[in-house]
């Protein structure tokens, strides 16, 4: 089922069901605050899409899409994902989690953000949604240690020695936008959730996730 809204009187598709892949949260919130959005029959009121814990997932604010109009993703795919190479850690339990998320190639794709109150501490944040390119499964990552690792690996693998300067600037902006979504603080847990919100915890050391 498509999700539609009126933007300055024009009907705009913003996504399908919970996946609002035609607009980032930042663009949507700005349009909402400026009074550009109104409801269409059969769709949620504009403010419902932007409520925390509503279940809606917004498109990640990819830097090269900043200048595109509201609801326009240009020539980019609606299921766009930016690839990120990961590195393994010393902790075996943590490695098992990352293998589940990134697959054998240890490469995940950044796709979306989701406005939630974290289960661990109730903090409001834009949780990062990533996709395993091998399995196609999506995961919601909201805890600080996991987010810090992703940012560190992006900087190490894609910014310090980029293929070109433009790519380096692009990935540096990706890191900045992840950080802005979290306003990072210390957390003692490293929990990773799938995109439906179900929690997946590590079990005993060396065993795979449930």
Query: Using only C-alpha atoms, what is the Rg of the chain?
Result: 17
Is pLDDT at 204 greater than 90 in this prediction?
A: no
Instruction: Report the predicted TM-score, pTM, of the whole model to 2 decimal places.
Output: 0.86
149, containing H or E segment: helix 144-154
Measured on CA atoms in the order 103, 105, 111, 114, is the torsion positive or negative?
positive
State the pLDDT at residue 89.
Answer: 77
Give the pLDDT mean for 144-152.
94
State the pLDDT at residue 195.
Answer: 55
How would DSSP label each residue in 75-123? TS-TT--EEEE----S-HHHHHHHHHHHTTTTEEEEEEEEEEE-TTT--
Q: How confident is the model at residue 103 (pLDDT cuts 50, 70, 90)?
A: confident
160: its two tokens:
């310090």
State the pLDDT at residue 183.
Answer: 80
All structural domains of the chain with their residue ranges = 2-59, 82-200
State the pLDDT at residue 162.
Answer: 82
Is pLDDT at 185 greater than 60 in this prediction?
A: no
Computed over every residue of the chain, the mean pLDDT equals 87
Q: How confident is the model at residue 192 (pLDDT cuts 50, 70, 90)?
A: low
State the pLDDT at residue 193.
Answer: 55
148: its two tokens:
């810090």
Distance CA 39, CA 12 (A): 11
């Amino acid at each position: 089922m498509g999700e539609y809204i009126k933007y300055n009187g024009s009907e705009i598709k913003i996504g399908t069901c919970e996946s609002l892949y035609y607009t980032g949260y930042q663009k949507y919130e700005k349009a909402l605050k400026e009074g550009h959005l109104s409801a269409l029959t059969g769709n949620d009121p504009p403010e419902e899409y932007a409520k925390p814990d509503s279940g809606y997932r917004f498109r990640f604010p990819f830097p090269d899409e900043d200048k595109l109009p509201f609801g326009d993703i240009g020539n980019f795919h609606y299921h766009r994902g930016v690839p990120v190479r990961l590195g393994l850690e010393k902790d075996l339990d943590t490695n098992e989690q990352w293998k589940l998320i990134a697959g054998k190639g240890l490469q995940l794709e950044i796709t979306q953000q989701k406005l939630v109150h974290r289960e661990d501490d109730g903090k409001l944040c834009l949780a990062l949604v990533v996709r395993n390119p091998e399995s196609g499964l999506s995961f919601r990552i909201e805890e600080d240690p996991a987010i810090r690792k992703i940012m560190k690996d992006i900087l190490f693998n894609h910014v310090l020695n980029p293929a070109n300067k433009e790519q380096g600037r692009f990935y540096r902006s990706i890191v900045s936008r992840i950080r802005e979504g979290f306003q990072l603080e210390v957390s003692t847990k490293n929990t990773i959730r799938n995109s439906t919100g179900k929690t997946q915890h590590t079990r005993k050391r060396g065993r795979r996730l449930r």
